[in-house]
A and B are shown apart, each in its own frame.
Chain A
Amino acid sequence: MTESLEDTIPRLEALAADLGLRHHPVDFEIVPPTFMMEVAVYGLPVRMPHWSFGVRWIHQMIQHRMGHSKIFEVVFPGNPNRAYLVNTNSVEENTLVVAHVLGHADFSHNNMTFARSQEQVGYHIVEQAAAHAHRIQEVIDSVGTRRVEEVLDVALALEPHIDTDQPLERPPYGRRSRDRQASERDDDPFRARYGHLPGEEPTGTGARERPQPPRIPPYPERDLLWFIAQYAPEMEDWERDIFLAVRKESYYFQPVFNCQIMNEGWASYWHSRLLREADFLPQQTYVDCMKTHSDVVRPYAGDRQVALQVNPYHLGYQIWEKLVEAEGMEAARQLMEQEDDFAFVRNHLSAEMAEELGLFVYSARQNGEIRVTESNLHELHEAILRPKFHFGAPRVYADELKSDGTLILRHDHQGDGAGLEVERARQVLDYLDRIWRRPVKLYTTDERGREICLKPGLED
């Protein structure tokens, strides 16, 4: 099996290059399914220990045992890319996976969201995550599981609360700008000479001008992981390190999440095209590959005729097929480079295509009833994209750090259109309480839209 794959990979790569795919080299590794499952659960091959991964893992195991889940491919962008193939897959399946992975490699190399993220995070996230895990294990050995867990509980809970519009490496607020202003004032001879009006008391005003302590944060801060690591009054260094490690991994996950439909669609488009044009493949291999292809990009699972979610492989694949057909590969490549899922779905999922694919909007009521609703294209777009808004999390931001160390968090309920789930929010505040070690308050709204203030550890 390995020999024939070893043969096929370079030929597929050459073909991909001929067809215009450009990417960093890919390291393929053949692994057992158990390993694959962990990779899927942890999001990275080696990652920090946390009990919540254990819960996800056992769910995955159960799904797998029941035959509901088969993980075909996992690839980590970087230089080189790292791709994993399962040793229980057939050669045909793995041939398809190789072609699919080349599509991903092309995507992550050229898409702007990915490129920017990799510039920030670096090209070795797999090794970095392993180093984080290693460092955290050392901390566990010295301070104990429980204390490290307390930090990971909150850091991982806040995983989606980053701000990728800001660079990964950020200086504290105002330091740079204030320093610059001060030095400019001192050094500038013009200012020194004409800074005061003729006849004005040169010293008096300066003394009376009491500088207002700058408000922290100066603007609503969405990057809670960074803010807490930077400004928590009493965190220890190892605790801040863990926060920054989680944050870095989250920066890495963000483009994967925000471009999922595009990325899976692009990879699916390319695996089907590469296999179609790979005349070096035996006919039977091609047929078997395409059967796997249709399994992967089918809209529903099993025998069901209706799915209550949209398969990103299928949707992305269909949109790309149409785009390439209508506008040509060059135009498609440009879109691939510049867009993310939000633009991709809103700009390119047309009403005709939605009709053709049988996409619909449904409403699920609290009494359990699920009913297909009358909807327009805009509503369909939003229904597909809603789970992806703001990295899948409510918009909670740090509003103020008071002089006594009190942290004021606010939830932008208008932006999100709903308040927070109180029980869970309070639990997150409980996690945070152990790290912040000063009062923490979170403002959101209740069911009737009135502002409420949540605090850790309180029933009401």
Chain B
Amino acid sequence: MSLTDHDSRDGAGRWYDLFSRGTRDWLRHNEKVREAVREQLPDLVAGSDVLSRPDNRTVQVPVRFMEHARFRLRDPSEQKGAGQGQAKPGDVLRPAQPVRPGRGGQEGGGEGEGQITFVLELRIDDILDWLWDELQLPNLQPRQGSNVEADEYIREGWDRRGARSRLDRRRTMKEAIKRRTAVGEGAVPISNDDLRFRQLARRRRPTTNAAVFFLLDVSSSMDEHCRKLAKSFFFWALQGIRRQFTAVDTVFIAHTVEAWEFEEQDFFQVHGQGGTKSSSGFTRALEIMNERFDPGQYNNYLFYATDGHNFSEDRSRATDLLLQLAPAMNFLGYAEVSHQNHRRLDTEVAGIWREIALQYPSGSYSLTREQDIWPAIKAFFTDQADEAEVAS
């Protein structure tokens, strides 16, 4: 026999204290879960669970342990096992479990590993990067031509003429070689035609400030379902905008026939009564913009979420106001939130938006289910990029 006590040795022998194989493999498991989460991220973040704390820069996503699959027999309807203790035939050791709706039959039983979930904390910035990657979303295009943009010179392209200091030797040699290969024997080493000069272009550096106006219809027809959709849409649109600009100001306006400005944390809690006048919200937005967000200084965005019902006598007034707002906006987004049985984008407000779309960069999105949110967000960012391209 031999007895080794690693505790009693000095230093040597405590090799297992230096690292833990269990921890190493557990971390690897978590990494894989993270990758899996990332793959189904658009579905996951569409669920409004992740929106519980909009101020927080992390979200908690419940995930399951990853299971290492092996061949297993299908569970028979009745499984025999051996036990021990004070029990006689006929004793019920565990009563039947009530059927949980929406769960697959395979999940039943007291199985260990597949059942346990743990919570993975993800940084919203990471999620956004993944999403932009995953959905191949374009970045937001800042507005061109506003007066706060600073000029800057950047290298761009080449020319055959230019200042000597900007001679691009590498490119010149390349041209010379190309020409000599084409001409063959007797070509001059370098000709004037080979010279290439770097060009400087004067570019306007766009301002990096943005202001985002969120308008929410809180009239009585906007129920919990509609608000949730609006909230999710707003949340992710805002995150996407934050991703692009260094400073983002937000304006939260709720309206019924009247309109009020709110703090972000109160905004989604607001419940109103009675009818809808979109114009009240637009009026308030216009006032605030004129007071605080000069379109020359800010990249302005406006989002409006409503179920689309508006008093028809409000139509011309609402349209007028929106036409006053639109020129100051980089982009206007209209999210129509409703239940599945509603007709899509055929409402009073959608009609107003169609008129806007004729002249100004805007987009309309119909949301009836959580699954619609990501396509809408994707459409918003793609529309916006397209508009910006046309404009520039």
Contact = CB atoms under 8 A, between A and B. Distances in A.
Given A35-B16, A59-B113, A419-B73, A28 B4 contact: yes
A423 B78 contact: no
A421 interface: yes
B71 A28 contact: no
B3 A49 contact: no
Given A59-B113, A307-B84, A383-B80, A362 B1 contact: no
B103 to A, nearest CB: 12
Interface string A85-122: 00100000000000000000000000000000000000
B364 to A, nearest CB: 35
Contacts of A364: 78-81, 109
Contacts of A365: 77-79, 96
A49 B1 contact: no
Interface in A362-419: 362-375, 379-380, 382-384, 386, 393-394, 396, 411, 416-419
Contacts of B28: 49-51, 54, 145
A236 interface: no
Nearest to B27: A54
A300 B85 CA distance: 8
A158 B108 CA distance: 25
Interface string A414-447: 0011111111110110010000000000000001
Contacts of A51: 25, 28-29, 32, 66, 68
Task: Name, among B3, B66, B82, B105, the residue most crowded by chain A CB atoms within 10 Å (CB to CB).
Answer: B82
Interface in B76-111: 76-97, 99, 105-106, 108-109
Interface centre among B4, B70, B105 (most CB of A within 10 A): B70
Contacts of A28: 1-4
A53 B6 CA distance: 25
Contacts of A57: 21-23, 25-26
Contact of A29 (B6, B20, B70, B99): B6
Contacts of A427: 69
A14 to B, nearest CB: 10
A53 B22 contact: yes
B246 to A, nearest CB: 36
Instruction: Identify the interface centre among A309, A386, A394, A424: most chain B CB within 10 Å of its CB.
Output: A424
B287 to A, nearest CB: 55
Interface string B7-28: 1100000001100111111111
A9 B1 contact: yes
Contacts of A27: 1-2, 4
A299 B86 CA distance: 11
Given A157-B68, A306-B84, A427-B69, A61 B76 contact: no
B84 A359 contact: yes
B32 A393 contact: no
Contacts of A393: 70-72
A30 B86 contact: no
A418 B74 contact: yes
A360 B79 CA distance: 14
B97 A50 contact: no
Contacts of A189: none
A80 B2 CA distance: 10
Interface stretch (A36-44, A252-260, A289-297): A36-44
Interface string A301-313: 0001111111100
A29 B2 CA distance: 8
Contact of A420 (B2, B23, B24, B72): B72
Given A306-B85, A369-B92, A87 B7 contact: yes
Nearest to B80: A383
A357 B16 contact: no
Nearest to A35: B16
A13 B2 CA distance: 11
Interface residues of B, number: 63
A52 interface: yes
Interface in A22-72: 25-32, 34-35, 37-38, 41-42, 46-47, 49-61
Contact of B94 (A157, A369, A374): A369
A299 B84 contact: yes
Given A46-B21, A54-B26, A160-B70, A2 B82 contact: no
Given A299-B85, A307-B85, A2 B93 contact: no
A9 B5 CA distance: 14
B94 A368 contact: yes
A6 interface: yes
A191 B113 CA distance: 64
A5 interface: yes
A432 to B, nearest CB: 11
Given A358-B85, A361-B80, A38 B4 contact: no
A309 B106 CA distance: 22
Interface in B252-273: none
A301 to B, nearest CB: 11
A171 interface: no
Interface in A180-224: none
Given A55-B67, A358-B86, A364-B78, 16 more contacts: A5-B3, A25-B2, A29-B3, A32-B17, A37-B22, A38-B20, A49-B21, A59-B113, A161-B71, A358-B87, A364-B79, A365-B77, A366-B109, A371-B91, A393-B72, A424-B69
26 contacts: A5-B3, A6-B3, A27-B1, A30-B4, A31-B16, A32-B7, A34-B20, A38-B20, A51-B32, A54-B23, A55-B26, A60-B22, A156-B68, A157-B70, A160-B70, A161-B71, A300-B85, A308-B93, A310-B83, A361-B82, A366-B109, A371-B91, A420-B74, A421-B71, A421-B75, A421-B106
Interface of B: 1-8, 16-17, 20-30, 32, 65-97, 99, 105-106, 108-109, 112-113, 116
